[in-house]
Amino acid sequence: MRGAVDLSALRNRPEAPAPGAPASAGGAPAASVPSLVLDVTDATFGQVLELSRTVPVVVDLWAEWCGPCKQLSPILEKVVLELGGRLVLAKVDVDANPQLAQGFRAQSIPMVVALVGGQPVPLFTGAVPEQQVREVFAQLLQVAAQNGVTGTVAVDGSDPATAETDDVEPALPPLHAEAYDAIEAGDYARAVSAYERALAENPRDEDARAGLGQVRLLARVQALDPQSARAAAAADPRDMDAQFAVADLDIAGGHVEDAFVRLLDLFADLPTDARGPVKDRLLELFALVGDADPRVLAARRSLASLLF
């Protein structure tokens, strides 16, 4: 049950009052929370750690710039809400909460860990399809039951069986829904097609544009063997396809600056008439990470200095 992470430094901090408390000493305890999906910080982590003694808590470590995170997080939220209070989802922005990121040893994201009775249980790293999430959560509930954590929670005192209806999100546009279904099925080509059709209908659909960039990255990374890709890139620093592949792996794994530096070095090393594809890939990755991200801003300045 101790898993592969060490939360002792966080566990020993003074804890804030838990968001819910057992309603009774006998039987399955009940608790109340503001929502089944909670945003957690370094300062409030003690609350969910204590809550995990009543109900398993799934911790989603994510970041705004992380494309795979944006694919996985809605799936986690959907499945947790459908379970009606048997699980709680705690979302941790690793950029804003470095102590938690360090405590969970989050070397790549998305990373999903559970807390059961105050103990960490590693679940998986990377974006996974909805069916796999469901299977892992079912196993988690079994592990929790074996360790005496069998409670449920309600949202603001409501019935846990109906709590998820309070957080139902608006229905996705049809083409976006088609893309999500395709992603969950691992059919990235169909997801790309759906997002492209959405953009054809509405060129200002920024959600579709972001989704298209993310799913193209997932499709490229899916076909890669990381060890072979890195070996090929190391063997030939001017091999554009090899450098693109490693940059994709770095972006997917959360190593954004490494990806940008790799492609900027490649851009600088190539003849002027061969630089176009590298510039295009950099611009694609800039859009994927987010134009306001400080790492993107720094890389854009470096690219501009190389261009002019």
Catalytic residue IDs: 66, 69
Q: Between helices 67-82 and 240-252, what is the axis angle to 10°?
A: 40
> Cα–Cα distance between 278 and 289 in angstroms, integer?
16
Please give the sequence-ordered ranges of beta strands (E in DSSP) within 47-184, or none if there are none.
57-62, 88-93, 111-116, 119-125, 152-155
Question: Torsion over CA of 148, 152, 157 and 163, rounded to 10 degrees?
Answer: 170
> Cα–Cα distance between 121 and 5 in angstroms, integer?
8
User: Kind of pairing, strands 111-116 and 57-62?
Assistant: antiparallel
Q: Distance between terminal CA atoms of the chain?
A: 56
Q: Residue 250: helix, strand or coil by DSSP? A: helix
Residues 6+ apart with CB under 8 A from 191: 178, 179, 180, 182, 183, 211, 215
How far, in Å, are 12, 210, 291 from residue 281 at the CA level? Answer: 45, 15, 14
Q: Are 304 and 230 in contact (CB under 8 A)?
A: no
Secondary structure of 113-147 in HEC code, one letter for each residue: EEEECCEEEEEEECCCCHHHHHHHHHHHHHHHHHC
